[in-house]
Amino acid sequence: MILLSVPNQISAARPEIPLYTGAPNPAAADPTLVGAGDIASCVSSGDEMTARLLDEIPGTVFTAGDNAYLSGKRMRNPFPCYNASWGRHRSRTRPAPGNHEYEGGYIDEYFNYFGSAAGERGKGYYSYELGTWHILALNTMIETDPSSPQGKWLAQDLARNRRLCTLAYFHHPRFSSGPHVLSPRAVALWKTLADAGVDVVVAGHDHIYERFRAMDRNGNPDDRNGVREFVVGTGGASHYAIRRISPNSEVRNNATFGVIRFTLHPSTYNWKFIPVRGLRFSDSGSARCH
């Protein structure tokens, strides 16, 4: 069962992640997971605006890669820009890396900055439990096929998972209406996750918000057992054009910075895209785990 409302159109040990206690939570028994990808740029104020949203939202913060951007050839470490905004929530953040961490040459700074919360150094993939949910943070900047170290680890992790509800996040989307070329590594992850019955995938990379209908391993609609993908590259860096409408895309927006909040119930979940102050686009709904 799916209910929708669309106004305006760390490690294999899986440690329990404590809830953020800096703000009251009216549903403490049902944890929240909140975040976005493509976040901090020293030449954009978008990350400061989305960080103000996090100030008011309790729960565990996730990032879907491209956490910080270089802004000039002399700049070797962009994390001071991230630290000035989302950094005040670092103690409750569980990140995933993106292409800018690797291609910008500051992946070491990424692991230094987030420490053990980023998973094992050099790997950047891990899992943890959040309430009754199993959460996977994966790395699309290294190999993901079933024969790779990450692929083997993921298969083992999913085989051990006995939770009804599972959510995964990583940087490159499997499906998107944005401008980027499809990542083969995201395709491999999608097939593994779909075959294991994962409920939700969250990605970034394209600087848009997009929600998809639940789909099977091949991208065919499957409302009963499929995976629902959200592209949330809205953390504050910039906006991208929507090039074409991808099949099974249900909602799209490329003009709004914001974060997505998941409320994780024992057998269902609610989502809500929350825009920065002054903007009206939002998206919300609920669905049952399978």
Distance CA 67, CA 26 (A): 29
Q: Is the distance from CB of 93 to CB of 129 less than 8 angstroms?
A: no
Q: What CATH number is attached to the domain comprising 72?
A: 3.60.21.10
Residue 73, pLDDT score: 54
Does a structural domain hold residue 132? yes
Establish if 77 belongs to a structural domain. yes
Is 23 a domain residue?
no
> Which pLDDT score is estimated for 175?
98
Q: What is the pLDDT of residue 75?
A: 63
The two structure tokens encoding residue 93: 């953040």
**So what's the pLDDT on residue 48?**
97
Q: pLDDT by residue (tens digit) across 35-76?
A: 999 999 988 999 999 999 999 999 999 999 999 998 655 567
pLDDT at position 72 is 57
- What's the pLDDT score for residue 9? 36
Q: What's the rounded Cα separation, in Å, for the pair 207 and 195?
A: 28
The answer to whether residue 217 is domain-embedded is yes
* Residue 81 counted as domain residue: yes
What residues pair up with 283 in beta bridges, in sequence order? 273
User: Which range marks the domain in which residue 266 is found?
Assistant: 30-288
What is the reported pLDDT for 13? 32
Please indicate, yes or no, if residue 135 is contained in any of the structural domains: yes
What's the confidence (pLDDT) of residue 89?
98
pLDDT of residue 76: 73
Residue-by-residue DSSP string for 62-115: EE-S--EE--STT----HHHHHTTGGGGGGGEE----HHHHHTT-HHHHHHHHG
Regions of the chain with pLDDT less than 70:
1-28, 71-75
Q: How far apart are CA 4 and CA 199, in angstroms?
A: 16
Which pLDDT does position 7 carry in this prediction?
A: 40
pLDDT at 22: 38
Residue 14 in any domain: the answer is: no
Domain tally for the chain? 1
Answer yes or no: pTM beyond 0.85: yes
* 7 C-beta neighbours (distance < 10 Å), count: 11
Question: H or E segment at 191?
Answer: helix 184-195
Within a domain: 256:
yes
